[in-house]
Amino acid sequence: MVMGELPVHTEVLVIGGGPGGYAAAFRAADLGLDTTLVEADPQLGGVCLLRGCIPSKALLSLADLLQRTRGAERMGIRFGEPEVDLEGVRAWKQGVVDRLSAGVARLCERRGVQWVKGYARFDGSGKVRLQHSDLAGINFKHAIIATGSRPKPLPGVALRRGGRIMDSTGALALADIPTRLLVVGGGYVGLEMGSVYAALGSRVTLVQRHERLLPSADAELVAPLARRLEGQFEAIHYNTRVHHLEERGDGVHAGFEGEGRIDDVVFDRVLVATGRQVNSDDLNLESTRVQCNPDGSVAVDAQRRTTDPSIYAIGDVAGGLLLAHKAMAEGKVAAEAIAGRPSAFEPQAIPAVVYTDPQVAWCGLTEQEARAAGRPVRVLRLPWRVSGRALTMDAAEGLTKVLADPESGRVLGVGVVGRDAESLIAEGALAVEMGALATDLALTIHPHPTLSETLSEAAESFDGQPTHYLAQRPGDAHR
């Protein structure tokens, strides 16, 4: 925090120091605008850095390490049972978080962004009042709302700090390794955290109200992950809802209805991961001209300008995909729009990654979306069992899919399930964003042997046959 002379007037006020907020503040400062960032947390970084992307990925790296050592026996190497020092794990994870958060604070200072601690609420279209701050309020010319989102509670279930029923923040705190863990929700947070606890030794039961995991992702990509998790978790109940959760002395008593109907079963801990709600309800937006969508997200245009011309909104609070990279991209657009630059948020592809084992990643159009829209596409597949690199990594269950326009060959979407899908999807996003043709991917020389070849080989089937895969007859590729 910048001590001493604190500003009471600023050109650009960014509310929220998460990835969206700090990216917006940095871009605004880089463009020469006098910028102030107000954050309610004592540390910068928001949900992503403090209680989301970064701590979860730190724990998932450990889960990956544990699973790989267990799987190494297939490759002729045997490790002994690992000993988990929970305090050591927590300290390492926190060290990563603290280092990155301090880095964001240093970047604020070096860019001349004023960081003010406090909780902001609007008092009209040109001022916020602050609570828990050295300042009573700040006047602004432009404001960017970047207040993010919070876990959505399960109706009728109150979460107690330190209680056995946890949200993602509680699960990331890793208070212990529960013998029996119930995960409510088969979205990416439930799957990632369930994988972490399963790798650490918990017996995990997952309850999913949909008929499959990750309902918004491509079913074909999710299938290998579901198979793997069905082996790792004690049980996955599909089409099932939790109808009661009650914390008692011996644990949390839970009852499910639906396919996996169980009236009373006891767990040591429960993770509720049923989605997130946006933080727009406590900003006193009524004092401004900002309007919200029916789901509570702030309504914005392509520049991320709200219905109040002096106020912008970005990141989770502006709705759409609740992802950090989307928040950062929007933050830059809003700052540029305020600086008078011709900027718009109009991505063709926002990649999404689920950091499980195997990882699932996709961008652009999915097969389900194409089908729902009645849009013809060619689906070009490369199963990893024919990839030399996948086999050397013991990762043959992967699959790479490229969706292309059947006439022009333009790449419309890419999906990957398998090791390192998180990195592979970036090339897919570039292809979709640049309007590349399948033949562009196919003719680009990819290094051998790498998993990246699965993209170029999948794309090769647009005009012929991939070098290492003959199974697709021309008709098979049409969907």
Q: Which residue, 229 or 437, is less far from ligand FAD as judged by CB?
A: 229
The b-or-e profile of 17-37 (16+ CB within 10 A means b, else e) is bbbbbbbbbbbbbbbebbbbb
Query: Is residue 147 a contact residue for ligand FAD (CB under 6 A)?
Result: yes
Count of residues near ligand FAD by CB under 6 A = 34
Residue whose CB is less far from ligand FAD, 182 or 377: 182
Q: Are 136 and 300 spatial neighbours (Cβ–Cβ below 8 Å)?
A: no
Q: Is 365 an interacting residue with respect to ligand FAD (CB under 6 A)?
A: no
Site for ligand FAD in 88-127 (CB under 6 A): 119-120
Told to check if 46 binds ligand FAD by CB under 6 A, we report yes
Contact 38, 13 (CB under 8 A): yes
Q: How far apart are CA 224 and CA 242, in angstroms?
A: 26
* Cβ at position 448, least distance to ligand FAD in Å: 30
In the complex, least distance from residue 18 CB atom to ligand FAD, rounded to whole angstroms: 2
Q: Does residue number 183 form part of the binding site for ligand FAD (CB under 6 A)?
A: no
- CB burial class (10 A; 0-12, 13-18, 19+) of residue 215? middle
Closest CB to ligand FAD among residues 66, 361: 361
Question: Does 168 help bind ligand FAD (rule: CB under 6 A)?
Answer: yes
Catalytic residue among 210, 448, 468, 478: 448
468: annotated active-site residue: no
Distance (Å, whole) CA 459 – CA 456: 5
Q: Are 183 and 271 in contact (CB under 8 A)?
A: yes
Q: List the one residue from 38, 200, 333, 425 that touches ligand FAD (CB under 6 A).
A: 38
Position 18 contacts ligand FAD (CB under 6 A): yes
Confirm or reject binding of residue 280 to ligand FAD (CB under 6 A).
no
Q: What are phi and psi of 38, to 5 degrees?
A: -110, 130
Measuring CA to CA, which residue among 409, 405, 406 is closest to residue 438?
A: 409
Closer of 316 and 367 to ligand FAD (Cβ): 316
Lay out the site mask for ligand FAD across 305-344 (x = CB under 6 A, - = otherwise).
----------xx-----xxxx-x-----------------
Give the whole-angstrom CA distance, residue 214 versus residue 232.
Answer: 17
Binding of residue 27 to ligand FAD (CB under 6 A): no
Burial of residue 146 (CB within 10 Å: 0-12, 13-18, 19+) is buried
Pick from 12, 14, 20, 437 the residue near ligand FAD by CB under 6 A: 20
Interaction between residue 422 and ligand FAD (CB under 6 A)? no
Residue with the two structure tokens 């705190």: 173
Q: What is d(CA 216, CA 369) in angstroms, rounded to the nearest whole number?
A: 9
* Cα first-last separation, the chain: 56
Q: Which helix (H) or strand (E) holds 240?
A: strand 240-248
**Sole binder of ligand FAD in the list 279, 343, 366, 400 (CB under 6 A):** 279
The residues annotated as belonging to the active site are: 448
What residue ranges bind ligand FAD (CB under 6 A)? 15-21, 38-41, 46-48, 52-53, 56, 119-120, 146-149, 168, 189, 279, 283, 315-316, 322-325, 327
